[in-house]
């Protein structure tokens, strides 16, 4: 075995070890597995921290068990060690060992997101890359890095094709920071369309993103935003972890539900052939959203 292959094997073993207490403890054959997802989390500008929005979402999650997908911008403003120590840990203390992270653009305000990779270690994937695959229950779960090249033919996209082709799980969920579709001032992000095409071609079921500081759920659709109830991907934007709230501007086609005034987390119950979702509002919020879907055949 080559040195490169040995290194890849070592990283893979570390990823499995890092997730053993969370993602895999419910078993790949579990009838149901519950996970939680949210991004845009800890911000020290919200004082006192004990009453900050991130403290409320942290408290909500401490009342649960199961894997947490952190959808980027985890510690403002720069994802530095100081930000994780002074902003993230006081509000989300005790949750780190349950987290599968994806890097956000604020993490990259520290060059190369070096402190993010150092803080989370091997569970965040190879330093400088930040994409990885694992299993949660019976589902194939993939983290991508939208701060580096995702274009067709890029190293990340080639890795993704291989990761998808090598796994025979019926249901697949992929998460990263920047969404393709969003009904905000920033709107849709065309740089993400190529990777969505890869996911669509491979029959991926669910995509989770942050970046937009609100909650939005889309119907099953193609990378071009055309409704496709048979093969389409369902996108959730869950940027409601504790950052400043954004506003809706122009509703995108296929947007089915949204809320720009509530902090909270998305709860996903993963089954062998489908999933259900529920938005859980943090204290002082009442908005919720729920439903269910089937995985592609």
Structure confidence at residue 171 (pLDDT)? 98
Question: Is the confidence at residue 19, as pLDDT, over 80?
Answer: no
Task: Report the percentage of the chain scoring pLDDT > 90.
Answer: 87
169-200 confidence digits (pLDDT tens): 999 999 999 999 999 999 999 999 999 999 99
SS3 percent helix, strand, coil of the chain, rounded to 5, is: 30, 25, 45
Range name among 21-35, 36-50, 107-121, 124-138 with the lowest pLDDT average: 21-35
Question: Is the confidence at residue 8, as pLDDT, over 80?
Answer: no
Structure confidence at residue 53 (pLDDT)? 97
Query: What average pLDDT is seen over the chain?
Result: 91
Beta strands (DSSP E) in 102-238 are 132-136, 139-143, 172-175, 206-209, 215-218, 234-238
Structure confidence at residue 89 (pLDDT)? 98
More confident residue, 147 or 1: 147
Output the pTM of the full model.
Answer: 0.90
Q: How many CB atoms lie within 10 A of CB 187?
A: 13
Which sequence spans correspond to the domains of the chain?
3-294
Structure confidence at residue 2 (pLDDT)? 40
Q: Which of 216, 204, 222 is nearest to 264 (CA)?
A: 216
Structure confidence at residue 10 (pLDDT)? 40
CATH number for the segment(s) 3-294: 3.60.21.10
d(CA 212, CA 187): 9
54-101 confidence digits (pLDDT tens): 999 999 999 999 999 999 999 999 999 999 999 999 999 999 999 999
Question: Is the confidence at residue 1, as pLDDT, over 90?
Answer: no
d(CA 209, CA 74): 13
């Amino acid at each position: 075995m080559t040195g490169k292959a040995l290194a890849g094997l070592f990283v893979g073993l570390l990823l499995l070890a890092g997730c053993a207490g969370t993602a895999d403890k419910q078993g790949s054959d579990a009838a149901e597995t519950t996970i939680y997802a949210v991004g845009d989390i800890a911000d020290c500008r919200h004082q006192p921290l004990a009453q900050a929005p991130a403290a409320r979402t942290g408290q909500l999650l401490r009342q649960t068990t199961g894997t947490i997908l952190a959808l980027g911008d985890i510690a403002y403003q720069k994802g530095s060690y100081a930000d994780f120590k002074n902003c993230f840990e006081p509000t989300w203390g005790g949750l780190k060992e349950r987290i599968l992270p994806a890097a956000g653009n604020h993490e990259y305000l520290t060059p190369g997101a070096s402190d993010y990779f150092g803080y989370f270690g091997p569970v965040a994937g190879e330093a400088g890359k930040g994409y990885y695959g694992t299993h949660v229950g019976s589902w194939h779960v993939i983290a991508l890095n939208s701060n580096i090249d995702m274009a067709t033919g890029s190293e990340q996209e080639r890795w993704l094709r291989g990761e998808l082709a090598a796994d025979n799980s019926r249901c697949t969920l992929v998460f990263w920071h920047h969404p393709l579709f969003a009904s905000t001032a920033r709107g849709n992000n065309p740089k993400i369309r190529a990777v969505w095409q890869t996911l669509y071609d491979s029959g991926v079921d669910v995509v989770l993103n942050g970046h937009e500081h609100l909650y939005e759920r889309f119907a099953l659709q193609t990378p071009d935003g055309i409704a496709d109830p048979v093969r389409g991907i369902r996108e959730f934007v869950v940027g409601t972890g504790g950052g400043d709230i954004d506003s809706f501007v122009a509703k995108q086609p296929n947007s089915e539900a949204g809320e720009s005034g509530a902090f909270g987390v998305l709860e996903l119950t993963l089954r062998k052939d489908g999933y259900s979702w529920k938005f859980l509002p943090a204290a002082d919020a009442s908005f919720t959203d729920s439903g269910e879907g089937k995985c592609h055949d």
